[in-house]
Amino acid sequence: MSDILPIVLHPHRALRQVAETVTDVDAAVASTLHTMLETMAQANGIGLAAPQVDINKRLVVIQPEVEGEPGNRKAKSATPPLLMANPEIVAKSDEMIDSEEGCLSIPRVFDVIPRHAWVKVAYVDEHGNPREVEGEELLGRCLQHEIDHLNGVLFIDHLSRLKRDLLAKRYNKILPDFVEDTPYPFTQES
């Protein structure tokens, strides 16, 4: 079993960098994707981008179909996770849908964010094979959220300045409790 990676917390510099393209999906990249998947599961997440674990590569893992309560979730056996290198949105609907989002790098903060109702994403899988996936509802939202991370964009960037300021105040209040109580490793930039 691989090690769990520490998840970086906002405002860590890694969250604002545009991630580098993966030039070769080799054994090391596949191993990183599997370690990211374990890290995401440990943190009870449904998606994780490499910048969230301070890796400046265009890598994403997603497991949107889970069952169980937070803290005791597991993937539905019939739904394999997506392990993606260089994911790119190649088509999207004009229709937008508002829904609540959160982020492992901005813990315990949620708000309603508009996203495309449907997206098609091209990527390279952990074996180096080109693939495509279409997503709507939670999968579509998760694909868009994680690809945003690869471009240095956080879900809070889709909010008005006023809402961002209010969320920042709330985040700064809850962060000390999170730091004390969190069940997974994290990193804060000093």
Q: What is the mean pLDDT of residues 47-73?
A: 82
Q: pLDDT grade, residue 55 (50/70/90)?
A: very high
pLDDT for 8-45, tens place per residue? 999 999 999 999 999 999 999 999 999 999 999 999 99
Residue 138 has pLDDT above 50, yes or no: yes
Q: 162-184 pLDDT, tens per residue?
A: 999 999 999 999 888 888 887 77
Percent of the chain topping pLDDT 90: 81
Homologous superfamily (CATH) of 7-187 is Peptide deformylase (3.90.45.10)
Longest dimension (CA), the chain: 45
Rounded to whole angstroms, the Cα distance separating 78 from 81 reads: 10
Q: By percentage, how much of the chain surpasses pLDDT 70?
A: 92
Which residues belong to the active site?
146
141: pLDDT strictly greater than 90: yes
- Confidence (pLDDT) at 2: 52
CA distance 30 to 33: 5
pLDDT recorded at residue 81: 95
Give the β-pairing of 47-49 and 74-75: unpaired
Task: Tell me how many degrees the CA angle 95-143-98 measures, rounded to the nearest 5.
Answer: 40
Residue 25 contacts residue 124 (beta carbons within 8 Å) = yes
- pLDDT exceeds cutoff 60 at 47: yes
Beta strand residue intervals within the chain, DSSP E: 7-8, 47-49, 59-62, 66-67, 74-75, 82-92, 96-103, 106-116, 118-124, 130-136, 186-187
Phi, psi of 28 (to 5 degrees): -65, -40
- For the chain, which residues make up each domain, given as ranges? 7-187
The predicted model gives 57-77 an average pLDDT of 69
Mean pLDDT of the chain: 91
Amino acid letter for position 146: E
CA dist 44 and 71 (Å) reads 6
- Cross-strand partners of 46: none
pLDDT tens for 121-133 read: 999 999 999 999 9
